[in-house]
Amino acid sequence: MESYDAVLAFFEKADAPANAGKVAEATGIDKKEVNKVMTKLKKEEKIVSPKRCYWEIKK
């Protein structure tokens, strides 16, 4: 659950859309784990994609 909270917090604070690599770099979490968390956030409709492969918090 730590990874989930960290990734969600990243998106809440981000000023621009980000991809999984950028999230992994900023949070220090392995990219595979970030991808799993992002998949969960997508299903929960907490993040949306303004352009291909980039995600941001749903407003």
Domains of the chain, by residue range, sit at 2-57
Instruction: Output the pTM of the full model.
Output: 0.91
Confidence of residue 34 (pLDDT cuts 50, 70, 90): very high
β-pair type (47-51, 54-57): antiparallel
Confidence of residue 46 (pLDDT cuts 50, 70, 90): very high
| pLDDT value of residue 59 | 85
Q: Is the pLDDT of residue 1 over 80?
A: no
- Domain covering 2-57: architecture: Orthogonal Bundle (1.10)
Strands (E), 1-59: 47-51, 54-57
Handedness of CA 24, 26, 11, 53 (dihedral sign): negative
| pLDDT value of residue 19 | 97
Mean pLDDT of 11-25: 97
